[in-house]
């Protein structure tokens, strides 16, 4: 038996661009229409209109929290022009969660940018934080009184890799110099946003919120355990998993550690050039582990090792994403169950964990991979937008209710 605390937070996540639909002021939309991305997000899941229905389902599944993101390009479609209608919309979304007893966990940046910001130079600008902070201030002033958990930036390292090093996502850059600049800029933006949010709460005499990032962390496992591969795995952990976190902690800008965990990378170093150091160090190498529909290894024990590596920072951890895309729903339940066991073991070994959020509540637009990968606890029929609760979701719901597995 695996027991979790009675006040544990259980839920699922979405991000605005992946589910809302019609985010036409966003850089992704522009790239999609220009044919620079293979798939068009279009109406996505129509969550912008159907959020009440989706939150009813989350409540039916015994969730007591929900992670969502705010689409910057809706709030500020033109530089300096903020939409009171859209701020009102997100206020209603947050209230819809609270009304159902779902604690909102709100992300401010989840990969997408307004078109105007991307045309100015986005995160490679000299001081991108000055634009980001204006938006953050508007949102936090508007929503602050109903939000206890803020995530400033989702997966900064993933954004950096895909958008500036590998050239897959807008702005499709492949530049080492820009990668370094953007890394520093994201870090600075996070630290300043952290301080700004804290100040706004203080000024408005609200209880201090919990602020963090959502850090994608992978288990880096040497493929063949040569000294060279071990060293490379160590360097990957240090740079990909830990650098952003360590620097944020040094700046006293993390109240908890938001962790997104999916898979492992088998490390087989092909050369010492920086491009060999990316998330998929051993892409295409055969491994006998079961895989999700995108070919990622299913490796629950990696969650344990990632969490144990965080113990030394003495901050509570919040699993803000963990999930699988698959057409085999019993594999989804196996995935959730095995990861929850590893999570529980880490807790037994002294890691304080606030909650577990599955990715994702509903199937959605998986960025450059389109609508094929099915991550949802709830399936979406993209012809009718009908939602169907999957069996795995029901099993997870029981765990959420009982706080035991």
Quick one: 17 or 220, whose CB is closer to ligand IFM? Answer: 17
For residue 240, the 8-state DSSP code is: I
| Among the listed residues 10, 15, 66, 112, the single contact to ligand IFM using CB under 6 A | 15
Alpha-carbon gap, residue 238 to 243, rounded angstroms: 6
Q: Minimum distance between the CB of residue 364 and ligand IFM, rounded to whole angstroms?
A: 7
User: 316 near 347, Cβ under 8 Å?
Assistant: no
- The token duo for 194 is 């952290």
Alpha-carbon gap, residue 389 to 363, rounded angstroms: 11
Set 321, 348, 391, 404: catalytic member? 321
How many positions of this chain bind ligand IFM (CB under 6 A)? 7
Q: Which residues of 120-140 are buried (b: 16+ CB within 10 A; e: fewer)?
A: eebbbeeebbebbbbbbbbbb
| Among the listed residues 27, 86, 321, 363, the single contact to ligand IFM using CB under 6 A | 321
Name beta bridge partners: 325.
Answer: none
Quick one: 124 or 153, whose CB is closer to ligand IFM? Answer: 153
Radius of gyration of the chain (CA): 20
Q: Minimum distance between the CB of residue 365 and ligand IFM, rounded to whole angstroms?
A: 8
Residues 127-156 that bind ligand IFM (CB under 6 A): 155
Q: Minimum distance between the CB of residue 198 and ligand IFM, rounded to whole angstroms?
A: 25
Alpha-carbon gap, residue 279 to 229, rounded angstroms: 14
Specify whether 321 is catalytic: yes
Quick one: 17 or 132, whose CB is closer to ligand IFM? Answer: 17
**Residue with tokens 């150091």, as numbered in its chain:** 277
Is 179 an interacting residue with respect to ligand IFM (CB under 6 A)? no
Cβ neighbours around 327 below 10 Å, total:
11
Quick one: 54 or 366, whose CB is closer to ligand IFM? Answer: 366
Q: Minimum distance between the CB of residue 153 and ligand IFM, rounded to whole angstroms?
A: 12
Q: Minimum distance between the CB of residue 390 and ligand IFM, rounded to whole angstroms?
A: 17
Q: Which residues of 83-96 are buried (b: 16+ CB within 10 A; e: fewer)?
A: beebbebbeebbeb
Residues 351-370 that bind ligand IFM (CB under 6 A): 359, 366
| Among the listed residues 62, 152, 163, 260, the single contact to ligand IFM using CB under 6 A | 260
According to DSSP, the β-strands at 378-380 and 387-389 are: antiparallel
What residue ranges in 47-157 does DSSP mark as E strands? 65-69, 103-109, 149-154
Q: Minimum distance between the CB of residue 184 and ligand IFM, rounded to whole angstroms?
A: 22
Residues that bind ligand IFM (CB under 6 A): 15, 18, 155, 260, 321, 359, 366
Question: Which residues are catalytically annotated?
Answer: 321
């Amino acid at each position: 038996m695996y027991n979790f605390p009675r006040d544990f937070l259980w839920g699922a996540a979405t991000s605005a661009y992946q589910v809302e639909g019609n985010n036409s002021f966003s850089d992704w939309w522009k790239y999609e229409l220009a044919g620079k991305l293979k798939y068009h997000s279009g109406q996505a899941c129509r969550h912008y209109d159907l959020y009440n229905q989706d939150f009813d389902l989350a409540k039916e599944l015994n969730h007591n929290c929900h992670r969502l993101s705010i689409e910057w390009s809706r709030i500020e479609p033109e530089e300096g022009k903020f939409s009171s209608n859209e701020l009102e919309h997100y206020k209603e979304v947050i209230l819809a969660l609270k009304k159902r007893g779902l604690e909102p966990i709100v992300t401010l940046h989840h990969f997408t940018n307004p078109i105007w910001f991307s045309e100015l130079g986005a995160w490679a600008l000299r001081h991108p934080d000055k634009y980001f902070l204006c938006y953050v201030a508007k949102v936090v002033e508007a929503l602050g009184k109903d939000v206890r958990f803020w995530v400033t930036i989702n997966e900064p390292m993933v954004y950096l890799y895909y958008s500036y090093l590998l050239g897959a996502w807008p702005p499709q850059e492949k530049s080492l110099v820009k990668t370094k600049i953007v890394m520093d800029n994201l870090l600075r933006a996070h630290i300043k946003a952290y301080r700004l949010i804290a100040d706004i709460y203080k000024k408005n005499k609200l209880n201090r919120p919990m602020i963090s990032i959502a850090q994608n962390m992978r288990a880096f496992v040497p493929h063949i355990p040569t000294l060279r591969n071990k060293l490379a795995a160590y360097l990957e952990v240090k740079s990909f998993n830990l650098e952003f976190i360590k620097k944020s902690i040094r700046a006293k800008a993390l109240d908890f550690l938001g962790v997104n965990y999916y898979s492992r990378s088998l490390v087989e170093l092909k050369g010492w050039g920086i491009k060999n150091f990316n998330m998929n160090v051993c892409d295409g190498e055969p491994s006998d582990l079961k895989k999700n529909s995108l070919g990622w290894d299913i490796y629950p024990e990696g969650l344990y090792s990632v969490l144990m590596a965080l113990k030394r920072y003495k901050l509570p951890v919040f699993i803000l994403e963990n999930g699988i895309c698959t057409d085999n729903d019993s594999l989804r339940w196996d995935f959730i169950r095995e990861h929850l066991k590893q999570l529980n073991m880490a807790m037994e070994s002294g890691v304080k964990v606030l909650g577990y959020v599955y990715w994702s509540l509903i199937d959605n637009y998986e960025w450059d991979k389109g609508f094929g990968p099915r991550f949802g606890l709830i399936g979406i029929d993209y012809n009718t937008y009908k939602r169907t609760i999957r069996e795995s979701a029901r099993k997870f719901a029981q765990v959420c209710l009982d706080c035991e597995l």
